[in-house]
């Protein structure tokens, strides 16, 4: 099914274009929907608030006598599953009187674990220039680093904005250092190994690939839990770019995926780095994977996969909630987190891996859909070029 | 409810023991028929797998009895997954080492 | 290998094979049924009905250690219940708030040192209780049955003592003459007898220790009976030993905390047990005094229970026993009848709590720390914000209290094969790997509502409970609420 040699039909390309157009429309619609109404939130922080006046990200809050009673700052930062907006209320004396979360696009499971509301409660009552931004311990415990960081970032920017507008105090935001660690090195190494081993043949290449995949399983899977997910892709496509300084890994992985697909026709992420692919392959070796599926069923399941990916993207774009798209059961395998449905999916996929070759990649994985679209487009373009030449 | 208490009794484990012995005899007969040797390590593999599969079933039962359906579902899926994958591996290990000559002899008879 | 039985008799062979498969199926099904039976086994409740500790399945011998697992790091002092015991302080606060004017000592200087506690105490009076009352009128009906049940459970219990130790504790006959102590056949036999009797009186667990005076309140918490409750309390010499008894709360409602469970049932049982034990020791001619829940204590109980080998203290500040986890409500009898004491135990709770933190994640009021231990009166322990905790209690509909940290703690599981094996594994494993694995499994297998969902509606929640209440506490099924 991978080496489909028949000339690519125009019809498919048309279908891709239509799908992309619909998705783009959904995204545009999602983004143009009305911004969240801040009035009730401001009122819940300042019960006496009667009117507000906006000055970029800072709202001046007045009471019924038109006295200024405080400011509300809207701060934003990119979280794992989308942006995180926080409204910080600071009264005339400079005390933080309330913090509210405006929109939440985080995966719900992470949210409740991060216990961020606790942090918000803790900083309420501090002076704006004495608020602490250190909540490392919680982050370390819950593994939801990005979520918590996103909230803290948002609080920091909104306080800095209010400080500038209201008290004429410049509070510089700290420049985050690039976080280039073992994870990033491993990712680069895995792609390098993948490219280098294109020259190898037979058992040698297989051995190298095993080594790479097991490394990927341990590092990208169990240790750092950072495979490419549809949620992350959706977030980026929706314009919620994770901070490059702290999320180099996802950019490296996506770049590697796209480049190798375009250059070599096969993406080396799936072959050498993906931790879930490795898990399926190991199970496959145990089971012997001797089942051959009839071609019609393979085609049907591939179509089903494409439809599911399209549906997930459509829903996520329309609601602007990237977390909606993430149907993969990766988190269940690597840290036992997920919905009951994802638990069931993991069970089915890994049991199927005993008999079938990497069933997730073939029949479920969004990356495969993306890869096929790129391959088809590439082949079609090449044919066009050839036709133009003759 | 009282009837359930039979499963908490010594009698239940007595029956369970008998069933175990019959199961082992059945496996032995099956392997003999096919001429597959059963060295000690295979019995260990078999024993470990039976214990783990039994644990999985009992875990699901206990969780349901306690009124924890989520634990029953997820535990059943997680331990069940390990049991199925381990079972597939164990099965292939058990039927390995078949001697073709032996098989011919048995099927001839 | 052409042996006769498999070679010559295919019928018999087939039969054995089929029987083997059938046995495997029947055996598997049987295990499932066994599991189900074990899961709802009344014996695993280890409650009132299991007098004499018949189903205690933990052999403490294997886990005994020489020193208790808490750490002493500096000069110690006794706690001042008037400000450090949240119930006592809140009581005084409410009284003094109502009468107006300045706060009296020792409250005044305490609040000067701890303004955040004054704020929390005020918050309770000014905001939380009014909100609760409003919500009670609107949403309270659901909890009618559980409140009735809780009241009934609390209705039976001996009167608290109303005279000071020198008077109350010493046995007298009907005419008021002191009773001579009987001659006993050695501390070992006495300890055996006392423990057996405590079980007879209904205790699930019992342990004996020498009383460490650090655990006795500096001023009497139980004011009644003391001529001047604001005089410091001397630790009487005859409080040489402490016997710790107690029972679990009813399990099913306990899992339906914070609103359906109650402390009253176990409180009441522990009171009865301790009072019976006091009477029994006095009948032998020795002094004895009960220290019983809700607030008739002269001492802090959890550390004494640790000394007596009943368990260890968790992150949530509650005693964790190997049999019942955190679901244990103790009472104490102090006496000087010579007894062999028990040794403290170590079942690995200290290490487990370092990673687990489930109670801290669950706690709706953020009272349990995520951080490490701090020094309290010369000992290292996890900080508990009792004022926040009580504020959440005050906000709650249904039965008084919360106890979610008790319900959600992985140790708080009924005593069946599954959970007790887990306790044994963590206790035996020195690497900490099992701690992490079991914590991960606990979090994914036993999820509960988000902390915010437990709040009352006017605080943004929906009165969630950790688990559904048992059928007999569902008011709507029995009472026409109109
Ligand atoms: S009783 Fe409730 S509020 Fe108090 S510490 Fe435990 S979980 Fe928190
Ligand atoms: S919930 Fe976890 S951290 Fe809290 S007391 Fe229990 S074992 Fe310790």
Mean pLDDT of all residues in C33-61: 67
Q: Which residues of B touch A287 (CB under 8 A)?
A: 85, 88-89, 92
Q: For residue C86, give the ligand nearest its CA.
A: 1
The residue count of chain C comes to: 482
- The dihedrals phi and psi of C325, each to the nearest 5 degrees, come to 60, -135
Determine if residue C285 is left, alpha or beta; phi over 0 gives left, psi from -120 to 50 gives alpha, anything else beta.
left
C389 lines ligand 1 (CB under 6 A): yes
- When comparing pLDDT for B5 and C351, which is higher? C351
- C453 and chain A: CB distance < 8 Å anywhere? no
Task: Work out the pLDDT band at C466, boundaries 50, 70, 90.
Answer: very high
Minimal C-alpha gap between C370 and chain A (Å): 7
Distance from CA of C97 to the nearest CA of B (A): 46
Q: Looking at the complex, does the CB of residue C418 fall below 8 Å from at least one CB of chain B?
A: yes
* pLDDT value for C458: 82
Burial A260-277 (b: 16+ CB within 10 A, else e): bbeeeeebbbbbbbbbbb
Name the DSSP letter for residue A347.
H
Q: Measured from the CB, is residue C404 less than 6 Å from ligand 1?
A: yes
8 Å CB contact of B26 and C43 = no
Contact C163, C224 (CB under 8 A): no
pLDDT digits (tens, 9 = 90+) for C419-453: 989 999 999 998 989 999 999 999 999 999 988 78
Res C292 pLDDT > 60 = yes
Q: Is C409 in the pocket of ligand 2 (CB under 6 A)?
A: yes
Residue pairs spanning A and C at CB distance below 8 A: 22
Task: Identify which ligand lies nearest to the alpha carbon of C315.
Answer: 2
B74–A286 C-beta distance less than 8 A: no
ipTM above 0.90, yes or no: no
What is the pTM assigned to this prediction? 0.83
Q: Which of C33, C256, C325 to mutate to test the interface with B (most CBs of B within 10 A)?
A: C33
Distance C350 CA to ligand 2 centre (A): 9
Asked whether residue C161 falls in the same domain as residue C138, the answer is: no
In this structure, of A19-23, A42-46, A227-231, C130-134, the range with the lowest mean pLDDT score is A42-46
For C338-396, the three-class secondary structure string (H helix, E strand, C coil) is CCCCCCCECCCHHHHHHHHCHHHHHCCCCCECCCCCEEECCEEECCECHHHHHHHHHHC
With CB atoms and an 8 Å threshold, state whether A288 touches B77.
no
Q: What is the pLDDT confidence band of residue A49, given thresholds at 50, 70 and 90?
A: confident
Model confidence at C213, in pLDDT bands (50, 70, 90)?
very high
Q: State how far the Cα of C195 lies from the Cα of C205, in Å rounded to an integer.
A: 9
> 């009976």: which residue's tokens?
C225
Q: State pLDDT tens for residues A122-131.
A: 777 888 887 7
The predicted-structure confidence for A61-95, as pLDDT tens digits, reads as follows 998 888 899 999 988 776 555 567 788 999 988 89
Residue C8 lies in a domain: no
Instruction: Say what the pLDDT of residue A148 is.
Output: 67
- E-strand spans in A8-81? 51-55, 58-62, 68-79
Residues C183 and C109 in one domain: no
Nearest to B68 among C27, C38, C446 (CB): C446
Residues C161 and C116 in one domain: no
Asked if residue C43 is part of any domain, the answer here is no
Q: Is the CB of C405 under 6 A from ligand 1?
A: yes
Query: What is the C-alpha separation between C37 and A207, in angstroms, rounded?
Result: 50
pLDDT higher than 70, residue C173: yes
Q: Pairing mode, if any, of strands A82-91 and C288-291? A: unpaired
Ligand 2 center to residue A44 CA distance, Å?
35
My answer on whether C346 and C427 are in the same domain is yes
Confidence of residue A3 (pLDDT cuts 50, 70, 90): very low
Extract the tokens encoding A249.
Answer: 């890994």
Report the separation in Å between the CA atom of C436 and the middle of ligand 2, taken as the mean of its atom positions: 12
Spell out which residues of chain C touch residue B65, defining contact as CB-CB under 8 Å: 35-41
Q: Long-range contact list for C125-134, CB < 8 A, 24+ apart?
A: C125/C93, C125/C94, C125/C97, C128/C391, C128/C394, C128/C395, C129/C394, C131/C395, C131/C456, C131/C458, C131/C459, C132/C394, C132/C395, C132/C396, C132/C397, C132/C456, C134/C458
Look at residue A332 in the predicted model and tell me its pLDDT. 93
Cβ pair C270, C331 in contact under 8 A: yes
- Residue of C13, C36, C54, C57 best to disrupt the B interface, most CBs of B under 10 A: C36
Find the CB nearest A337 among C361, C366, C444.
Answer: C444
Which has the higher per-residue pLDDT, A323 or C166? C166
- Give the pLDDT mean for A83-108: 76
Please tell me the distance in Å from B45's CA to the nearest CA on chain C: 16
Q: Which ligand is nearest to the CA of C409?
A: 2
Averaged pLDDT score across all residues of chain A: 84
Q: Which one of C357, C441, C451 has the shortest CB-CB distance to A336?
A: C441
Q: Of C100, C129, C149, which marks where a domain is finished?
A: C149
Quick one: closest CA in C to B101, which residue?
A: C1
Is residue C106 domain-shared with residue C180, that is, in the same domain?
no
pLDDT at C349: 95
Output the pLDDT for position A134. Answer: 65
Q: Which atom of ligand 2 is nearest to the CA of C325?
A: 6
Residue C359 inside a domain? The answer is yes
Strand order in the sheet with C288-291: C205-210, C241-247, C329-335, C288-291
pLDDT at position A77 is 73
A269: nearest Cα among A192, A328, A346, A331: A192
Give which of C150, C31, C70, C55 is closest to C373, Cα–Cα: C70
Q: Is C357 at the interface with chain A, CB within 8 A? A: yes
Contact C361 A113 (CB under 8 A): yes
Min Cα separation B47/chain C (Å): 12
**Which of C171, C158, C298 is CA-nearest to residue C224?**
C298
The mean per-residue pLDDT over the stretch A317-327 comes to 83
Q: Per residue, what are the HEC states of C23-37? A: HHHHHHHHHHHHHHH
> Are the Cβ atoms of B73 and A343 closer than 8 angstroms?
yes
Q: Which of C360, C362, C404 to mutate to test the pocket of ligand 1 (most atoms within 8 A of CB)?
A: C404
State the chains in contact with B (3 or more Cβ–Cβ pairs under 8 Å).
A, C
Q: Are residue C334 and residue C436 in the same domain, yes or no? A: yes
Confidence of residue B100 (pLDDT cuts 50, 70, 90): low
**Are C134 and C164 within one domain?**
no
For C430-439, b/e burial (b = at least 16 CB within 10 A) is eeeebbeebb
Chain A and chain B share a number of CB contacts under 8 A equal to: 34
Structure confidence at residue A104 (pLDDT): 54
Ligand 1 centroid vs C393 CA: distance in angstroms? Answer: 8
Of C149, C177, C206, the residue that ends a domain is C149
Cβ within 8 Å of C, A 332-361: 335-337
Q: For position A143, what pLDDT does the model report?
A: 35
Same domain, C119 and C159: no
**CA C383 to the chain's CA centroid:** 18
Counting from 1 in the atom list of ligand 1, the atom nearest the Cα of C316 is 5
Atom of ligand 2 nearest to the CA of C360: 4
Return all residues near A360 (Cβ < 8 A) that are at least 6 apart: A276, A277, A280, A349, A353
Q: Over 60: is that where the pLDDT of C1 sits?
A: no
Residue C96 within any structural domain of the chain: yes
Task: Give the ligand 2 atom nearest the CA of C352.
Answer: 7
- The nearest CA of chain B is from the CA of A285 a distance in Å of 9
Give me the pLDDT at residue C3, please.
45
Q: pLDDT tens digits for C222-237?
A: 877 787 878 888 899 9
A347 closest CB neighbour out of B81, B89, B92: B81
Same domain, C87 and C172: no
- The CA distance from C128 to C131, in Å, is 5
pLDDT category at A277 given cuts 50, 70, 90 is very high
pLDDT tens by residue, C104-113: 888 999 998 8
Q: What angle separates helix C433-445 from helix C417-428, to the nearest 10 degrees?
A: 150
Contact A351 B81 (CB under 8 A): yes
pLDDT in tens, C70-83: 989 889 999 998 89
A4-13, B33-42, C353-362: least confidently modelled range = A4-13
Structural domain of C133:
83-149
Q: In what order do the strands lie in the sheet with C374-376?
A: C71-72, C379-381, C374-376
Which of C17, C36, C252 lies closest to B61 in CB terms?
A: C36
Comparing A186-200, C111-125, C256-270, the range with the smallest average pLDDT is C111-125
Distance A4 CA to ligand 2 centre (A): 56
pLDDT in tens, A219-233: 999 998 889 999 889
For the cut 80, the answer to whether the pLDDT of residue A102 exceeds it is no
Residue C65 lies in a domain: no
pLDDT band at C45 (very low <50, low <70, confident <90, very high): low
Q: Nearest 5 degrees, angle CA C59-CA C61-CA C66?
A: 145
Count other Cβ atoms within 10 Å, centred on residue A286: 17
pLDDT at B1: 55
Residue with tokens 């994958």: B85
Residues making up chain A, counted from first to last: 390
Nearest to C357 among A118, A141, A336 (CB): A141
Is A23 a residue whose pLDDT tops 60?
yes
C403 pLDDT higher than 50: yes
CA distance C394 to chain B (A): 29
Cα–Cα distance measured from residue B10 to residue B21, given in angstroms and rounded to the nearest whole number: 17
- Annotate A164-175 with DSSP letters as a single string: HHHH----PPPP
Q: ∠ at Cα A39 (A34, A41), nearest 5°?
A: 105
Q: Which of C204, C229, C341, C217 is CA-nearest to residue C291?
A: C217
- C370 touching chain A per CB within 8 A: yes
Assess whether pLDDT exceeds 90 at residue C341: yes
For residues C124 and C210, membership in a common domain is answered with no
Strand C374-376 and strand C329-335: the pairing is: unpaired
Q: Average pLDDT in the C16-33 region?
A: 88
**Which pLDDT band, with edges at 50, 70 and 90, does A57 fall under?**
confident
Domain boundaries, chain B: 2-33+40-97
Chains contacting C (3+ CB pairs below 8 angstroms): A, B
Contacts of B70 in chain A (CB under 8 A): 340
Residue nearest to ligand 1 atom 4, measured at CA: C389
Residue C183: asked if its preceding bond is cis (omega within 30°), the reply is no
- When mean pLDDT is compared over A195-204, C45-54, C283-292, the highest value belongs to C283-292
Residue of C nearest to B77 (CA): C445
Of C20, C32, C43, the CB nearest to B23: C20
Q: What is the pLDDT of residue A52?
A: 87
Tell me the ligand closest to C364's alpha carbon.
1
Of A215 and A157, the structure prediction assigns the larger pLDDT to A215
CB of C444 within 8 A of CB of C358? no
Number of domains in chain C: 2
Last residue of a domain, one of C149, C180, C206: C149
* Structural domains of chain A in order of their starting residue, each with its CATH number: 2-30+179-389 (no CATH), 39-166 (3.90.1010.10)
**Domain identity same for C245 and C313:** yes
Q: At A218, list the tokens.
A: 């341990």
- Residue C47 lies inside a defined structural domain of this protein: no
Contact at 8 Å (CB) between C444 and B74? yes
Task: Give residue A156's pLDDT band: very low, low, confident or very high (50, 70, 90).
Answer: confident
Q: How far apart are CA A302 and CA A369, in angstroms?
A: 8
Q: Report if residue C16 sits inside a domain.
A: no
Structure tokens at C28: 């598997």
**How far apart are alpha carbons A103 and C342 in whole angstroms?**
56
């Amino acid at each position: 099914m991978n080496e489909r040699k028949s000339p690519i039909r125009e019809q498919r390309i048309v279908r891709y274009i239509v799908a992309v157009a619909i998705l783009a429309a959904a995204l545009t619609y999602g983004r143009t929907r009305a911004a969240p109404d801040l009035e009730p939130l401001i009122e819940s922080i300042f019960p006496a608030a009667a009117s507000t006046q906006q000055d970029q990200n800072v709202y001046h809050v007045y009471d019924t006598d038109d006295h200024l009673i405080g400011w509300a700052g809207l701060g934003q930062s990119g979280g794992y599953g989308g942006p995180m907006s926080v409204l910080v209320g600071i009264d005339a004396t400079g005390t933080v009187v309330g913090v509210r979360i405006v929109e939440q696009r985080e995966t719900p499971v992470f949210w409740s674990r991060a216990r961020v509301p606790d942090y918000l409660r803790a900083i309420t009552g501090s002076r704006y220039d004495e608020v602490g931004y250190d909540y490392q311990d919680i982050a370390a415990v819950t593994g939801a680093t990005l979520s918590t960081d996103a909230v803290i970032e948002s609080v920091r920017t909104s306080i800095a904005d209010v400080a500038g507008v209201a008290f004429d105090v410049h509070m510089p935001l700290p420049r985050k250092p690039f976080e280039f660690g073992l994870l990033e090195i491993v990712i680069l190494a895995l792609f390098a190994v993948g490219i280098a081993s294109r020259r190898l043949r037979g058992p040698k290449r297989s051995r190298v690939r095993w080594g790479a995949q097991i490394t990927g399983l341990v590092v990208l899977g169990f240790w750092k839990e950072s495979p490419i997910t549809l949620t992350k892709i959706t977030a980026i496509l929706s314009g919620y770019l994770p901070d490059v300084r702290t999320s180099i890994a996802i950019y490296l992985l996506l770049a590697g995926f796209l480049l190798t697909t375009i250059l070599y026709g096969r993406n080396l992420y799936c072959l050498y780095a993906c931790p879930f692919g490795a898990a399926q392959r190991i199970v496959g070796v145990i089971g012997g994977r001797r089942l051959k599926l009839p071609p019609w069923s393979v085609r049907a399941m591939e179509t089903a996969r494409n439809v599911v990916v399209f549906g997930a993207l459509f829903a996520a774009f329309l609601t602007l909630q990237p977390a909606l798209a993430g149907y993969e059961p990766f988190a269940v395998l690597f840290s036992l987190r997920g919905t009951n449905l994802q638990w069931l999916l993991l069970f089915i996929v890994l049991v199927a891996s005993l008999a079938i070759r990497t069933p997730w990649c073939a029949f479920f994985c969004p990356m495969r859909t993306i890869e096929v679209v790129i391959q088809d487009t590439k082949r079609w373009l090449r044919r066009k070029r050839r036709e133009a030449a003759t | 409810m009282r009837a359930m208490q039979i499963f908490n009794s010594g009698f239940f484990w007595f029956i369970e023991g008998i069933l175990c012995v019959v199961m082992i005899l059945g496996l032995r007969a099956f392997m003999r028929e096919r001429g597959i040797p059963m060295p000690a390590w295979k019995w260990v593999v078999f024993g470990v797998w039976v214990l783990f599969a039994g644990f999985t079933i009992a875990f699901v039962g206990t969780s349901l009895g306690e009124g924890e359906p989520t634990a029953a579902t997820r535990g059943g899926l997680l331990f069940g997954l390990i049991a199925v994958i381990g079972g597939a591996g164990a099965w292939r290990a058990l039927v390995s080492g078949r001697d073709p000559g032996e098989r011919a002899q048995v099927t001839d008879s | 290998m052409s042996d006769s039985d498999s070679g010559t008799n295919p019928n018999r062979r087939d039969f054995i094979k089929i029987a083997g498969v059938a046995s495997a199926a029947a055996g598997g099904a049987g295990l499932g049924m066994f599991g189900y039976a074990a899961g709802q086994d009344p014996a695993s409740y280890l409650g009132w009905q299991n007098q004499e500790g018949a189903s205690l399945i933990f052999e403490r011998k294997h886990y005994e250690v020489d020193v208790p697992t808490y750490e002493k790091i500096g000069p110690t002092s006794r706690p001042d219940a008037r400000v450090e015991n949240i119930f006592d302080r809140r009581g005084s606060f409410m009284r003094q708030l109502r009468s107006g004017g300045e706060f009296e000592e020792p409250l005044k200087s305490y609040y000067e040192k701890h303004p955040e506690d004054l704020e929390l105490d005020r918050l309770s009076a000014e905001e939380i209780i009014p909100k609760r009352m409003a919500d009670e009128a609107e949403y309270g009906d659901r909890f009618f049955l559980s409140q009735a049940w809780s009241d009934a459970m609390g209705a039976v219990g001996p009167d608290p003592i109303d005279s000071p130790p020198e008077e109350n504790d010493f046995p007298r006959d009907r005419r008021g003459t002191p009773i001579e102590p009987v001659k006993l056949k050695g501390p070992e036999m006495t300890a055996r007898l006392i423990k057996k009797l405590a079980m007879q009186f209904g205790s699930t667990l019992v342990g004996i220790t020498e009383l460490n005076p650090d655990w006795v309140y500096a001023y009497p918490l139980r004011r009644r009976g003391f001529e001047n409750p604001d005089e410091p309390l001397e630790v009487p010499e005859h409080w040489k030993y402490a016997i710790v008894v107690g029972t679990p709360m009813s399990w099913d409602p306990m899992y339906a905390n914070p609103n359906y469970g109650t402390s009253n049932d176990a409180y009441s049982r522990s009171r009865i047990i301790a009072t019976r034990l006091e009477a029994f020791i006095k009948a032998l001619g020795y002094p004895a005094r009960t220290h019983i829940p809700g607030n008739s204590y002269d001492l802090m109980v959890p550390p004494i229970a640790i000394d007596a080998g009943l368990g260890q203290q968790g992150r949530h500040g509650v005693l964790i026993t190997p049999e019942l986890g955190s679901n244990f409500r103790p009472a104490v009898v102090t006496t000087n009848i010579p007894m062999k004491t028990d040794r403290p135990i170590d079942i690995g709770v200290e290490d487990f709590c370092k990673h687990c933190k489930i109670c801290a994640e669950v706690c709706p009021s953020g009272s349990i720390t995520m951080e490490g231990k701090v020094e309290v009166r010369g000992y290292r322990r996890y900080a508990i914000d009792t004022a926040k905790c009580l504020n959440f209690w005050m906000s709650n509909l249904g039965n008084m209290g919360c106890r979610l940290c008790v319900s959600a703690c992985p140790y708080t599981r009924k005593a069946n094969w599954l959970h007790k094996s887990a306790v044994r594994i963590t206790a035996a494993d020195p690497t900490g790997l099992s701690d992490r694995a079991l914590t991960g499994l606990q979090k994914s297998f036993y999820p509960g509502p988000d902390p915010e969902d437990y709040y009352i509606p006017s605080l943004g929640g929906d009165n969630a409970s950790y688990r559904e209440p048992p059928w007999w506490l569902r008011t709507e099924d029995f009472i026409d609420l109109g």
